[in-house]
């Protein structure tokens, strides 16, 4: 009996991915900080879909979190064939408005955890007939975003890491998919403390976490390397590629009040 391990499963896109996988009768291991939300979701998904669900409440910004997750999986004897690196967050405002520790914690969650967890899990994933790694990047991965500078850079890292890893593993049983959502209706903007201008811009264009999750899970099982969710976000990435960088950066800066 195999399980899908999902980080950041307590809410938003991670919760929707958990629900989407549960709907496909897959057993789940949920990871995030908020135990009450994980427990509630585990109970709900077990009942609704008659699957096995366990959870671990842990702060992924702590250095040993990935090895603690792997130790928990080993202790419980779980077999994992899907790894979803979804947990992540942004910090909006000036780079200098945050301490070095705040930047480091976010980089830990957005970049180091996906890399270290993937590295620790690959030997297990290789033992299964077919395994999947699904990484949640962002439309912000395709350009510098003044006002979300470190966040956008961390997602560019995750995008590049995912593509390189997919190529390296292409002849193995593991496929790697990276999904870049644009604005999605979750707690992201709240935690990132984005200003009203960005929230208002998002309100018109935001996708639901459920629709993002469905696209992400479909892409993962189809073995796609990279997708951007939604037509507008695909168009945005194309324009970013075509237009001068100064222009796209000035536009982003104006949304995040950095002009």
Binding site for ligand NAP (CB under 6 A): 8-14, 32-34, 37, 59-61, 86-89, 109, 136, 138, 181, 183-184, 186-188, 191
Q: What is the spatial distance between Cα 30 and Cα 4, in angstroms, rounded to a whole number?
A: 8
Least CB distance from residue 241 to ligand NAP, whole Å? Answer: 18
Residue, CB closest to ligand NAP: 12
Q: Biggest alpha carbon distance in the chain?
A: 53
Q: With respect to ligand NAP, which residue has the nearer C-beta, 107 or 173?
A: 107
Least CB distance from residue 17 to ligand NAP, whole Å? Answer: 9
Q: With respect to ligand NAP, which residue has the nearer C-beta, 51 or 91?
A: 91
The structure tokens listed for 117 are: 């967890």
Annotated active-site positions, please?
151, 155
| Closest to 211 (Cα-Cα) out of 231, 192, 237 | 231
Q: How far, CA to CA in Å, does 199 sit from each of 4, 184, 202, 237?
A: 32, 11, 5, 20
Least CB distance from residue 54 to ligand NAP, whole Å? Answer: 16
Q: With respect to ligand NAP, which residue has the nearer C-beta, 1 or 217?
A: 217
Q: Which residues contact 38 (CB under 8 A, 6 or more apart)?
A: 9, 10, 30, 31, 32, 55, 56, 57
């Amino acid at each position: 009996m195999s399980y899908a391990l999902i980080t950041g499963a307590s809410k938003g896109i991670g919760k929707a991915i958990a629900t989407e996988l549960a709907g496909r009768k897959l057993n789940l291991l949920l990871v995030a900080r908020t135990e009450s939300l994980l427990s509630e979701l585990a109970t709900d998904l077990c009942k609704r879909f008659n699957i096995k669900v366990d959870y671990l409440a842990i702060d992924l910004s702590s250095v040993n979190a990935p090895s603690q997750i792997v130790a928990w999986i080993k202790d419980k004897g779980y077999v994992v064939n899907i790894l979803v690196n979804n947990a992540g967050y942004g910090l909006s405002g000036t780079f200098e408005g945050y301490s070095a520790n705040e930047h480091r914690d976010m980089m830990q969650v957005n970049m180091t955890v996906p890399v270290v967890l993937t590295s620790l899990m690959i030997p297990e994933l290789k033992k299964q007939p077919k395994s999947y790694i699904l990484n949640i990047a962002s439309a912000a991965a395709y350009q510098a975003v003044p006002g979300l500078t470190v966040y956008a850079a961390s997602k560019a890292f995750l995008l590049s890491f995912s593509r390189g890893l997919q190529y390296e593993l292409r002849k193995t049983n593991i496929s790697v998919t990276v999904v870049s959502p644009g604005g999605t209706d979750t707690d992201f903007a709240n935690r990132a403390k984005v200003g009203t201008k960005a929230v208002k811009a998002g309100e018109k264009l935001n996708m639901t976490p459920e629709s993002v999750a469905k696209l992400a899970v479909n892409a993962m099982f189809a073995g796609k390397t990279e997708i951007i969710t939604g037509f507008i976000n695909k168009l945005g990435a194309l324009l970013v590629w075509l237009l001068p960088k100064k222009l796209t950066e000035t536009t982003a800066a104006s949304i995040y009040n950095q002009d």
